[in-house]
Structure 1
Amino acid sequence: MSDEEQLQFVREDPEGFQDFRDVLSDYAPQIEKLASQLGQNPHSPQLVGDLFRLMHTIKGDAGLCRVMFVVPYAHALEGLLARLRSGELVYQDVMGDVLLLVLDRLELVMGQIAAARPVDAVQMRTLLETLRTLESAPLPSVLATCTRLVAAMVGVQGNSEAPSAAVAGNAGGQSRQQDMLLFRTLALQLEQRMPEFVGRTERNLKLALELNRQAGGWVDAEQLEAAVYMHDVGMMFLPEQVWLKLGTISDHERRLMILHPAWVAGLMGRMPGWEGAALMVMQHHETPDGEGYPYGLVSGEICQGARILALVDAFEAVMLKHAHRGQRRSMLRAAAELNAADNQFERAWLDPFNQVVRRMLEQPAA
């Protein structure tokens, strides 16, 4: 079967398609575990063999389930693993990142197909062509290509020009310290409502401030800190059965949910000196394409701090959704998803965000 025939991003057999999606989600943690073990013992023939057999199984299952577009990607990865198994190459962590990210990208594509959303076929064909070079290139070229692939899929490259932004005013004084303590206390109260929220405030604050520094300090750090603390506190004004609900919410519940930024922004706007943070909170669910809420603002109408909050909020949400994958893989998946959301975030903020995430990934595990 030719590439043109295989790379048709469609559901030939809906039942088989769903079966393969379920199977792939089961295989992915096994691959992550083996990749992690190989990072500790890169010369282990047993681990490399196990990884090769698992990829071969994925390729076979894709064929059986008629998810044919997966087959050439699995085959290319299998070719890389065959070189490791023969001893021609020595395993490096970046190779494991490629395995995981390609599987994640295939999962994303299957999700797009299931939701009847368009797939970027040109991008996927380019990915396949690059993967195929790993089957024969010398080791230095393999490592360089793997690094470029990870950068492309996670989005760590780019040199967008920084947007201009007005820096919010900064009035000092004891009352501001007391205000900030109140904001932080409310954020920590929100954390206690759900076990998976614990630690969320510190994670979000660290990422937001580091992102702002990476971008050159476009946003007033004190206003940004207050906005990080307060941006979701309005959720506590909703009935718990709405914001703690699992699954689909009703239209009435969605209308209530949309109100939560305005409640907190209104509160902060009445506190002297926090107008900048209030605006960030009000707008942090707006998106450049005008599909956000509460006002449907477009790119130039959204303040810079709100754009930071949107990225941080989305990154945390995807991390929580994929927490079962393990820390490194969930971070890679979250970064990849945010970079794939072309209409939700702006390149000028994604670029510094990607640099911050890359540094986080390079830090040794505690």
Structure 2
Amino acid sequence: MHASSLSEPVVTDREALQEFIDILWEYTPTIERDVARLKNHPTEHAVVGNLFRTLHNIKGDAALCRVEVAVAIVHPMESVLVRVRNGDLPFTNAIAEATLLTIDRLELAVERLSSEQTLAGLQLQLLIEGLEKLAAATPSELDACVADLIEAVTGKRPVTVAVKAPAAQRKPGDASRSQTADDLLFFLTLANQFEMRSPRFAGRTMRILRLALETNQMAGNPIDPVQLEAAIYMHDVGMMFLPESVWLRASALTPAEQRIMRAHPEYAAGLLSRMESWAAAAAMVAQHHETPFGKGYPGALTGEQICPGAKVLAIVDAFEAVMLKHTERGRKRSLLRAIAEVNACDQQFAPEWIEPFNQVIRRAAESR
């Protein structure tokens, strides 16, 4: 795109632009999660592939929605990840920073377009030029390229961008980490299949995942984040073993249908328990409808009998359900209503997890 088109792009379809913004909002947590994982485990090729596909989907959706500036921003970053996926470049902290900077500028750009503001000052031309140089760089040039890119776009040069390149030789544990990544990708695929059964479910997995991981982090990460992630992906997959006439309906269920619905945690937990290394996630899935005072299902467990991961999952899953309810009823300020409703259910949720969850929600509300 010409420089003038980057600073003053013409919006030909505002409805399509809003559709793209909604899509991008759903994709962003996935990108942040994959980048964070790759910073710690840069050789997990399945995660690299997932990150590439997410960016590729964003570019495709931008093209369909005719948001050309988004296509121009994402394309060179996609080219960088092609080289990482092909093994020509290692995934380093430098590439992680470039990816996050790209998504940050993309979000700012479309938000300004939505509010009919100019994009001047976002330095999009310099961003694209820097990413194109990065896509052509050698491994030894990565740090310098990203430092130049960050300085050009933000006006501040990073002190250092530490490299965490993959080891030259395979180390003990690499195989197990690769298997974990493959399993998580499989679980995410199942979650996506569940979401595709109804437009009401679109994006719910990533919203719940983000809330759960941030709540756990707010409390000091007492729950294994990987096991929690697996549980988030799988917790409702058992629904697909039930008649669709029961779990896809929005109206109230009969007592008989409620009994059918109560079987879904055990189906998904049974699948996880039969796979090596996922026992903790299986327990979270099996117990996520239990309540501290023994009124839940399927085991009527109480207090400490319920694992912490299940307690967190119960809160974030209920929050998502309440948000959906208020949105479908056309109510305004659904976020505040959902917070109030979850906090009012003092016997349904573990009190020790309500405050970390509230802190995460308050921080999200303030950032908005």
TM normalised by structure 1 equals 0.51
What is the aligned counterpart of 2:195 among 176, 191, 194? 191
- Alpha-carbon distance, 1:251 to partner: 2.5
Match of 2:365 in 1: 361
Which of 265, 269, 289 in structure 2 is aligned with 1:285? 289
Aligned-pair identity (%): 57
2:271 aligned partner:
267
Task: Work out the CA distance in 2 between the residues paired with 1:325 and 1:245.
Answer: 15
> 2: CA distance between counterparts of 1:218 and 1:289?
22
Q: Within 5 Å, which residues of 2 pair with 1:139-288?
A: 172-288=176-292
Structure 1: gaps of 5 or more residues: 1-170
- By how many angstroms is 1:177 displaced? 1.4
**How far, CA to CA, are the matches of 2:259 and 2:296 in structure 1?**
13
Q: Secondary structure at the match of 1:180?
A: helix
Of structures 1 and 2, the one with the larger relative CO (CA 8 A, separation 6+) is 1
Offset at 1:172? 3.1
1:250 is displaced (CA, Å) by 2.4
- 1:126-176 per-position Cα deviation (integer Å, ceiling 9, x unaligned): xxxxxxxxxxxxxxxxxxxxxxxxxxxxxxxxxxxxxxxxxxxxx933222
CA contact (8 A) 1:280 1:303 kept: yes
Deviation track 1:31-87 (CA, whole Å, cap 9, x = no partner) reads xxxxxxxxxxxxxxxxxxxxxxxxxxxxxxxxxxxxxxxxxxxxxxxxxxxxxxxxx
How many Å separate the matches in 2 of 1:329 and 1:280?
31
What's 1:306 paired with? 310
CA distance in 2, matches of 1:192, 1:207: 21
* Cα distance in 2 for residues equivalent to 1:199 and 1:187: 10
State the Cα deviation string for residues 182-229 of structure 1 (Å, max 9, x = none). 100000111111112111111011101000000110100000000000
Structure 2 counterpart SS, 1:297: coil
SS at match of 2:249: coil
What pairs up with 1:279-358 in 2 under 5 angstroms? 279-324=283-328, 329-358=333-362
SS of alignment partner, residue 333 of structure 2: helix
Note closer, same or farther for the CA distance 1:227–1:240 as it changes in structure 2 (3 Å cut): same
Q: AA paired with 2:270?
A: G
What one-letter code is carried by the residue in structure 1 that aligns with 2:359? Q
Assess if the C-alpha contact under 8 Å between 1:328 and 1:361 holds in 2.
no
Give the alignment's Cα RMSD to 1 decimal: 1.8
**Counterparts in 2 of 1:207 and 1:327: CA distance versus 1, 3 Å:** farther
1:236-273 C-alpha deviation (Å, 9 max, x unpaired): 11110010123232232222111100011011001010
**AA of the residue aligned to 2:241:** F
Letter in 1 for 2:356: P
1:68-116 CA distance string (max 9 Å, x none): xxxxxxxxxxxxxxxxxxxxxxxxxxxxxxxxxxxxxxxxxxxxxxxxx
Could you tell me how far apart the structure 2 residues matched to 1:352 and 1:266 are?
30
Distance 1:325 1:244, change over 3 A: closer
Contact 1:214/1:356 (8 A) holds in 2: yes
Q: Distance in 1 between matches of 2:243 and 2:314?
A: 23
CA distance in 2, matches of 1:314, 1:223: 20
Which AA in structure 2 matches 1:339? Answer: N
Counterpart-to-counterpart distance in 1, 2:207 and 2:293? 27
Separation in 2, partners of 1:354, 1:172: 35
5+ residue gaps, structure 2, are 1-174
SS in 2 for 1:334: helix
In structure 2, how many angstroms separate the alpha carbons of the residues matched to 1:244 and 1:324? 15
Partner residue, 2:63: none
Change (3 A) 1:261 1:363: same
Question: Which amino acid in 1 is paired with 2:358?
Answer: N
